[in-house]
Amino acid sequence: MRGQMVTEYKARKFPEHFLWGASSSAFQIEGAAAEDGKGRSVADVNAAKRAQLQADTRVASDFYHRFQEDIELFARLGLKAYRFSLSWARIIPDGDGPVNEAGLEFYDQVIDRLRYHGIEPLVTLYHFDLPYRLVEQYNGWESRECVHAFERYARICFSRYGNRVKYWQVHNEQNLMIRVDERMNIRAEDPWEADRQRAQMDYHMFLAHALAVRACRELAPGAFVGPAISSTCTYPVTPNPRDVWAARSNDRFKTEYALEMYTAGRYPGYYQRYLKERNIMPETRPEDEALLAGARIDYLGVNYYRTLCASYLPSDPSHPAGLRQFRGNEVDFDQFGYFRDEKNPFLEASEYGAQIDPMGLRLVLNEYYRKYRLPMIITENGLGAADVLSADGGVHDPYRIAYLKSHIEACADAIADGVELFGYCPWSVMDLLSSHQGFKKRYGLIYVNRDDRDLRDLRRIPKDSYYWYQDVIRHNGL
């Protein structure tokens, strides 16, 4: 009897209506970057700068022309949800001018096709692809005009698709996007001026998020709306109390300050202190406080790939507290007076350097649920690798299966811990354009037969991980 009870308990790791899904984003998958009236985006411009080195957004995975075929593959996979983004510049080419009906109709077809196959559309409004005309007019998010342009765009989307879309995400990874100057179009050479612009842009994006949440309540009643954040879980490199503080500060400055704004409508004290010490407090208006506090979200989308490790980095007269230092990349910056990024000697890394740590996912889910008491869905989680098409015509990726398996098990453990997790959407549903590695670095469950220079036939080939995940979905995670 006792053995039967244990078996029965283990068999209930995932809720009955758990949303097994997969993810993508518009600029990385669609292609057709200048077709049917679409305007240029920051992502298009940045990709064009690297066009001599890797693939760009002009074709990407060609989902724009092949979405019906692709969604058939999603249905055969058994997806319960598909998390994807709309291209703001496809719907409003200059960001704030005439609406492009062809863009709206494209997403009508995608949403309707998903629903035909019983796949829940999980729609992101903004995934790294600000219309470039708003940069030329206002320097993008530095201006409050961009906030109003985004609210208008959000209202158009809620009005058009709100009767068919139940789950909305406003911004994807604002807390990560704001760290990368290229994605924000920050060009200042002076570090202080760059951080001043960054703080103002970040604040304006929070205002835009709040206005979109309010518009969703009005135009799509009954829908669920929230952000997708880039999660961080940082370990201290030693038990030294300063290193422990550094690890916590790394999580706070890179993720938790944003979660506080999304859930409480204000910056936490430690972040206000940083803004004041750097003399970069953003410009605000009296009416903002009530708007931010009233933008109640329904859930958190969690993007998780890896954990970090930190040591304490003291400040000095030449390096004041809060100044950033980039030894590796902008995402994992060091900050004087707070933290320094370190390698964790206890973890293995992918071929692209991301340290693999499924326990970190369990820790993140438990920590966020303890603090914010909101239901969550994994909106990105995956392994980038240089997959190859084998002589037998298949793509054999046991490394991806091992990664996904261990992280799905971490999700099950978190659910058993009491976390309210209602879905899992690995990144990515198919191979797509990686921002800095093109098609060399592949995340997909479906192989796209092209490389950075040769489009080949763009044939879709399910990988071994596709069939493995198909079985996971069929058996609800068992």
SS3 per residue for 237-272: CCCCHHHHHHHHHHHHHHHHHHHHHHHHCCCCHHHH
Structure tokens given for 351: 């071929």
Are 126 and 206 within 8 A, CB to CB?
A: no
445: nearest Cα among 8, 78, 49, 12: 78
Strand extents, DSSP E, 192-351: 224-230, 234-236, 300-303, 308-311, 324-325, 334-335, 340-342
Are 450 and 474 within 8 A, CB to CB?
A: no
DSSP state of 457: T
How are the residues of the chain apportioned to helix, strand and coil, as percentages rounded to the nearest 5?
45, 15, 40
Cα–Cα distance between 328 and 149 in angstroms, integer? Answer: 35
Q: How far is CA 424 from the centre of its chain?
A: 13
Q: Which residues is 83 bridged to in the sheet?
A: 23, 122
Are 430 and 74 within 8 A, CB to CB?
A: no
Residues labelled catalytic = 380
φ, ψ of residue 466 to 5 degrees: the values are -60, -50
